[in-house]
């Protein structure tokens, strides 16, 4: 009997501990989830139709902060995991208020997500079939694994790496980086119209594409390649101003 009580207590404690580290919110009526962070952010899929924020076991509020709320640019911490979550119409806005700890966020695979890193944070998104917008505004890199698109991604100094599953044909894909490399992998049978351009970088690919120099016209934006693969399809536009570009068959 004592043993049983002990196990029960342990389970109870476990639940409480878990509840302290996780935050969930239902996604009913939500079309877009916008995530704004200064630090690393990892977005993964799960099967429940809810937002789940895991800030990891190492999260510790300083002793001095007992009874106080974390306040940041995006508002005050209303989640107890260092995030501010606000609903605006059909959009859920998720601010990471902390400046030194990364976080894992779980969403259903079909969710449309927009992730913005405003400082050094790297963005990593994996396994989503909905629409993805990723913007690394300063030094962060972007890594999108096993996504279907439409994807709109932009990085300033970090690398932009995208690995596509089957590419959704409904609306354009746009991948730009100013100083980082643009590295994209597509299934080899993807039908698409490609527009690749770099100013100071080079383009490397194992797809059958050729630089377009019709009428000997020199492009305004350095090297431009416009071509269609597998009979043409959705428009995929890739641009790197100073970095190299890599387009791979998967």
Contacting positions for another protein (CB under 8 A)? 31-32, 91, 112, 114, 131, 133, 135, 149-154, 156, 171-179, 199-200, 220-221, 235, 237, 239, 241-242
CB of 6 to another protein, least distance (A): 53
CB of 1 or CB of 220, closer to another protein: 220
CB of 32 or CB of 207, closer to another protein: 32
User: Starting at the edge strand that comes first in sequence, how are the strands of the sheet with 160-164 ordered?
Assistant: 22-26, 50-54, 103-107, 41-45, 123-126, 142-147, 160-164, 182-186, 245-249, 203-205
CA angle (15, 18, 19) in 5-degree steps:
85
> What is the distance between the terminal CA atoms of the chain, rounded to a whole angstrom?
59
CB of 21 or CB of 226, closer to another protein: 226
CB of 170 to another protein, least distance (A): 8
CB of 235 to another protein, least distance (A): 6
CB of 113 to another protein, least distance (A): 11
Q: What share of the chain is helix, strand, coil (3-state, %, to 5)?
A: 10, 45, 45
**Residue 132's CB: how many other CB atoms inside 10 A?**
25
Distances (CA, A) of 29 to 34, 107, 139, 198: 14, 14, 34, 41
Helices (H), the chain: 2-21
CB of 129 to another protein, least distance (A): 14
CB of 111 to another protein, least distance (A): 13
CB of 24 or CB of 120, closer to another protein: 120
CB of 79 or CB of 154, closer to another protein: 154
CB of 103 or CB of 245, closer to another protein: 245
């Amino acid at each position: 009997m004592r043993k049983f009580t002990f196990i029960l207590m342990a389970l109870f404690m476990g639940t409480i501990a878990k509840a302290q580290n996780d935050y969930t919110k239902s996604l009913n009526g939500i079309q877009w989830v916008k995530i704004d962070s200064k630090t690393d952010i990892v977005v993964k899929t799960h099967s429940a139709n809810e937002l789940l924020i895991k800030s990891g076991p190492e999260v510790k509020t300083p002793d001095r902060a007992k009874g106080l709320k974390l306040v940041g640019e995006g508002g005050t911490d209303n989640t107890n995991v260092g995030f501010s979550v606000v609903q605006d119409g059909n959009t859920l806005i998720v601010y990471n208020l902390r400046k030194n700890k990364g976080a894992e966020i779980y969403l259903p695979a079909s969710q449309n997500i927009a992730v913005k890193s405003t400082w050094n944070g790297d963005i990593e998104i994996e396994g989503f079939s909905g629409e993805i917008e990723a913007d690394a505004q300063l030094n962060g890199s972007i890594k999108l694994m096993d996504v279907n698109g439409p994807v709109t991604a932009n990085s300033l100094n970090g690398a932009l790496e995208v690995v596509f599953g089957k590419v959704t044909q409904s609306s354009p894909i746009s991948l730009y980086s100013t100083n980082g490399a643009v590295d994209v992998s597509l299934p080899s049978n993807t039908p698409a119209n490609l527009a690749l351009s770099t100013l100071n970088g080079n383009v490397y690919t194992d797809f059958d594409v050729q630089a377009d120099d019709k009428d000997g016209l020199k492009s305004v934006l350095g090297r431009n390649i416009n071509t269609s693969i597998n009979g043409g399809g959705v428009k995929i536009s890739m641009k790197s101003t100073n970095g190299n570009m890599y387009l791979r068959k998967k």
